[in-house]
Structures are given as C-alpha cells and as structure tokens.
Structure 1
Amino acid sequence: MNTTSKQISHWQVVAASVCGTSHIRNQQLCQDAHHWQLLPGNVLVTAAADGAGSASQGKVGAMVAVETAIETLAMKEITPDILGDDALVQSLLNEALLSAKKAVEDEAVACSKQPQDLATTLIIMLATPDMVGVAQIGDGLAVAKDHQGNLLALTKPDNGEYINQTTFLTSPDALDTAQIKLWRETIVNVGVLTDGLQMLALNMLVGEPHKPFFFPLFDFVENVEDQTLAKEQLVRFLGSERITQRTDDDLTLILAGFRSCEF
C-alpha cells in the first residue's frame, strides 16, 4: 500500500505576562499586556506593552494598545504582494502604531484622564516564514532567529538620555522616535519581551541578544504538545528564582516557532 505523508507548517506560540515581585509586594496590578493572532498565509502578529509605573492607568493603556494594534492588522488582507514590499510592510506597522496611540488617547478622554495617565510602551511584530517586521516605541526587545541559527536583535531598548527613562506611546514625539526594522530571511523563531527581561536577554554592552537565554526557550516552544501546559510552564519560568533574583519588574515574553508536522 502506498502511503504518502503530508506536511502542515504553522506557527506555534506560547506567551505570558506575569506580575513582578515588587508589584506583588505593593499589591499593584501587573502593568504589562500582550496579544497575538495567527492570520491567513502563516502571518503571525504579536504585540507586547508595558504600562508606565508612574501612570495611574498604565495597565489600561497597555491592554488597549496591544488589542488595538492586533485588531488593526487582523482587519487587513495581508497578501504576499504586500509582504514582499518593504514600504507597504512599514506602512502596515505604522498604521497599527497610530491606531493604538489614538485608541489609548480616546480611552483617556472616556475615563476623564490625561493621555499620560495611560502611558505605555508598545512593540508590534509581524512575522512570516520568510521575513519579520517590527515597530517599537519605548524599551523592550524583539528578536528573530533564522534557519542558520543566527539570532538578531531587531530592536533595542529605547532608554532615552537617562537610565530608566523611555519614550511612551502617549509621548508627543512617540511616532517620530519609533524603531521600525525589517529582516528578510528564512525565519524559524521570533521573540518579544518587555523591559523586565531585557537585562537577562540582551548583552547590553554590545547590544546583542543572549543566546543562552533564547535558544532553550525556542527549543521549548518548538516542542510544545499541550498549549495550556506550555503556558503554565512559561509562567513558572518567569516566576522562578533564576528570573526574580535578577528583576522585580513585570515580565512579558512572547515566543514563537515555525515548524512542520507530518501526518
């Protein structure tokens, strides 16, 4: 009997936001938020945000920003022609940033607050098996790994002139300072994280992602069998002593791997 196996290729995603130990101690909400969606044609869109600790409604700003960014991209018909054109991909990412900024400002008005009361950073990533594009306002980090094992920091934390200072989505110059980066390569893994993890994930001296941090996590996401269990394991990892000894901030980590399954 002649049996032929078929291959299905798809993105596997595991993501979590957890409250930092300092916020737990002070009985504060987790200010981080994330959102992601798989679109037709193996297009993965992800967003992560870190509401400003100084903003009374930072959590709300972060949630509104990530949800609006992903909804904006999900409403688009992202065709191969669009994906093949750098200017069109940049335009999509810009539009998602603009929509998120407007939504946060509208939410501030609805809550009778100032926009800065909802201050948040925002990272938006659009990834396919052939390319990845990122737009970032503020700190945090987006990385990608290609089929040869090269690991690239697509963005770097924007800490402004002073340590612990950053640009927020609600800042007047937010869109002017946005980092937008495209990388056309055979993409195997992508990762997005907020600033709570950047000291562990980035060699700050040379601005390169730390392979011993990312590679085991990318192996983990590629071998996931049970999505619910995988998320629990990621939450446990983010709350582990190895992490909490190094940072007491809120933590968000989005991991994805593109893999083929035979059946």
Structure 2
Amino acid sequence: MGDLQTLEAGRAGLRSGDGCEPRDASDPAIASSWRSAWARHQGRSHAASGVPCQDQVLASTFPSGTTVGALADGAGSARWSHYGAEVALGAAAQLIEQQFDRIFRATNNLQTIRVELIDRLQSVLAQFAAGGLDVSASDRDRMGLPPHDSDPRLACEFQELASTLLLVAVKGERFVALHLGDGVLGVQALLRGGLAIARPLGRPDNGEHTNETTFVTSTNAADALRIYRGRLATKAQTISGFILMSDGPEASLYQKRAGMLAPACSKLIEACRSLPSDVMQVQLEATLRDVIVPRTHDDCSLVLMAAPDAVRGDPEG
C-alpha cells in the first residue's frame, strides 16, 4: 500500500475523534474556508417500493484546513449499497486529506496512486462486510429480516456495498478531485474580464447502456478512477465553486447531448456563497425535493462548494 495510512472501517464514516469532524465556522482559523451545502432525497421509484435513498453525501473541513465535499450513489442492484456508500465516503475523505500533497505532486506515478486508493477503499469495504451489517430496524422490517435482538449483525457480501464516488478537496490554493462512475462533477470559474461560467470537470462514465457504470467495488475501478488537480490561482481564470451531482439530478442540471452544465448550476453555487448556511440548506433541500426529484425516478443528491472570495485556478488532469 505504499504510504497510505491505515483507516478504520466503520459505518459512521467521519466521526468525532477521527480528526475530521466539521469545525465551527466562527473559528478564526477557518473563517475564510470554502462554504458548502448538501442534500439528498429518495427517488420516486424507491419511494414507491419503500427502498431508502441509496445516495450519501458528505461535507467537512479537517483540522488541517482541507475542505472536502463528496457524494456516493449506491448501486440499485446492490441491496446494502446505502451502507457501502456511507463507508466509502468516510474512508475516501480521510484518504484524500492524508494524501492530498502526494496526489497533487504526482507525475509518472499517478496510476500507482489510483491503484493504492482503490485497494484501500476496497479493503475498508471488505473489512466492513466481513464484520456483518448492523442493519437498521426499518430495513429489517422492509425486507422481513430477523430483529436486531435475535441477529445483531447480518451477513453481507462485498459486492452488495457497491457505489460510485465523486469528491473534491480544497487545500490552500490547490484542489484535488476524484470521479468514479456516473454523476457529474462541475466547476465554476470566473474568466478574465469577469465572465462566470460553469462547466463539467468530470462527465458521467457509463458503459454501453445508460444504467451501466463503474463502482468502488468493481474489478476495473482503479483504471476507471479519474483524478483531477489544479491550482486555484492563475492569470486565466478564477475557480469560485464546485458542484457534485449523482445521476438523478442530471435531468435538471446537466445537458447530456451538449455535455454542458445547465445555467442553474452557477445559480446554486452563487446561492451557496451568499446565503447564510442554515438558509442555504433549507433552500437546497426544497429545490431538490420540489424541482429536481419530480423530473426523475432516481435518488438525487447534490453537494455544493463555494469560495468566499474567488481565487484563481485552472484544472489539470
């Protein structure tokens, strides 16, 4: 595994005491950190069948000052994917925070890093599966499984934890982003002259069919993992925000034929930058529920990241 640090597999992902709990925004040390908002909502097909939302979202600022936003879309065909998505998010966030500098500086060893990252994530998921699942009471009732008292942990196969992964980490004047599977990873930039544009950084990775993609548990995950890196300060443009979406919101926020983001993406990022955090959370959840979810059958999740003051940057693959 090289110098990748050992992570603890746990369903909670990021927990108090792990060194990655979100910090108080009133702390002067992070007063200028990026702002974030996130939301997820059960899709119409899952609402009809009683299946819980399989998307998971995360946004956190680490004590190191690294801000991470991420989401994972659990595979519809994997019955425990909502648990796997949560574990994958927590593990990935910690890995990227620990390995940020190494990933950003990588030159001819980027494929080695891809393999190491996927190996570590798969190892965490395999350990989690081996320990058995502490399945919620609602899932047990829905699936007709034994109550917790008679069977506290249920057997789980590694592949039943399948999910995609989208992640952005910002540290100082730099960013690192990961994209595995479908969904869209977008960036907002202010061009020289003040023109603001939002464009895809990572487009959906689908197979021959729309509903095919690559998951963290896939055998080809290391080859399919896309890594983007960039500085947030160049003369060409100003990186002012990121948007991450699962495949559900694509019908509303991604113009598939043109391969472009919808204008609403910039509006969402600007709202994240300007509105109080509590107001933004309420509005984003309402937008997802009332505007985006009715246009798709899939679960929907969004993560927004906005710079308080634009810093210049240009992504590089």
Deviates more, 1:34-43 or 1:146-155: 34-43
Is 1:195 aligned to residue 242 of structure 2? Answer: no
Letter in 1 for 2:163: T
Query: Residues 129 and 188 of structure 1 are in contact (CA less than 8 Å); yes or no, is this contact kept in structure 2?
Result: no
Letter in 2 for 1:229: V
> Taking structure 1 as reference, are residues 38 and 94 closer, same or farther at Cα in structure 2, changes over 3 Å only?
farther
**Counterparts of 1:231 and 1:95 in 2: how far apart (Å)?**
35
Structure 2 partner of 1:216: 267
**Counterparts of 1:13 and 1:209 in 2: how far apart (Å)?**
19
> Taking structure 1 as reference, are residues 88 and 67 closer, same or farther at Cα in structure 2, changes over 3 Å only?
farther
> Taking structure 1 as reference, are residues 77 and 55 closer, same or farther at Cα in structure 2, changes over 3 Å only?
closer
> Taking structure 1 as reference, are residues 96 and 13 closer, same or farther at Cα in structure 2, changes over 3 Å only?
farther
Query: Residues 134 and 154 of structure 1 are in contact (CA less than 8 Å); yes or no, is this contact kept in structure 2?
Result: no
Structure 2 partner of 1:53: 76
Q: What is the CA distance between 1:130 and its match in structure 2?
A: 3.6
Structure 1 partner of 2:212: 165
Superposition CA RMSD, Å? 2.6
What is the number of equivalent residue pairs in this alignment? 249
Give the TM-score normalised by structure 1: 0.84
**Counterparts of 2:253 and 2:172 in 1: how far apart (Å)?**
23
Equivalent residue in structure 1 for 2:307, among 245, 258, 263? 258
**Counterparts of 1:40 and 1:107 in 2: how far apart (Å)?**
26
Is 1:243 aligned to residue 292 of structure 2? Answer: yes
SS in 1 for 2:202: coil
> Taking structure 1 as reference, are residues 166 and 155 closer, same or farther at Cα in structure 2, changes over 3 Å only?
same
> Taking structure 1 as reference, are residues 195 and 228 closer, same or farther at Cα in structure 2, changes over 3 Å only?
same
Q: What is the CA distance between 1:236 and its match in structure 2?
A: 0.9
Matches within 5 A, 1:131-142: 131-142=174-185
Query: Residues 248 and 293 of structure 2 are in contact (CA less than 8 Å); yes or no, is this contact kept in structure 1?
Result: no
Query: Residues 197 and 266 of structure 2 are in contact (CA less than 8 Å); yes or no, is this contact kept in structure 1?
Result: no
Query: Residues 33 and 63 of structure 1 are in contact (CA less than 8 Å); yes or no, is this contact kept in structure 2?
Result: yes
**Counterparts of 1:123 and 1:94 in 2: how far apart (Å)?**
17
Letter in 2 for 1:146: A
Letter in 2 for 1:181: Y
Structure 2 partner of 1:205: 257
> Taking structure 1 as reference, are residues 87 and 15 closer, same or farther at Cα in structure 2, changes over 3 Å only?
farther
Equivalent residue in structure 2 for 1:17, among 35, 40, 46? 40
Query: Residues 143 and 154 of structure 1 are in contact (CA less than 8 Å); yes or no, is this contact kept in structure 2?
Result: yes
Deviates more, 1:182-191 or 1:163-172: 182-191
**Counterparts of 1:146 and 1:252 in 2: how far apart (Å)?**
22
Is 1:104 aligned to residue 147 of structure 2? Answer: no
> Taking structure 1 as reference, are residues 94 and 39 closer, same or farther at Cα in structure 2, changes over 3 Å only?
farther
**Counterparts of 2:261 and 2:273 in 1: how far apart (Å)?**
19
SS in 1 for 2:87: helix
Letter in 2 for 1:105: A
SS in 2 for 1:154: strand
Percent same amino acid among aligned pairs? 27
Is 1:117 aligned to residue 140 of structure 2? Answer: no
Equivalent residue in structure 1 for 2:50, among 20, 27, 39? 27
Letter in 2 for 1:259: P
Give the gaps of 5 or more residues in structure 2.
1-30, 133-154, 233-237, 310-317
Structure 2 partner of 1:4: none
Q: What is the CA distance between 1:128 and its match in structure 2?
A: 4.2
Q: What is the CA distance between 1:246 and its match in structure 2?
A: 1.4
**Counterparts of 1:92 and 1:199 in 2: how far apart (Å)?**
33
Q: What is the CA distance between 1:215 and its match in structure 2?
A: 1.4
Could you give the per-residue CA deviations for residues 25-74 of structure 1, whole angstroms, max 9, x where no partner exists?
21111101011221356532222101111111010110010011112234
Q: What is the CA distance between 1:159 and its match in structure 2?
A: 1.0
**Counterparts of 1:45 and 1:9 in 2: how far apart (Å)?**
15
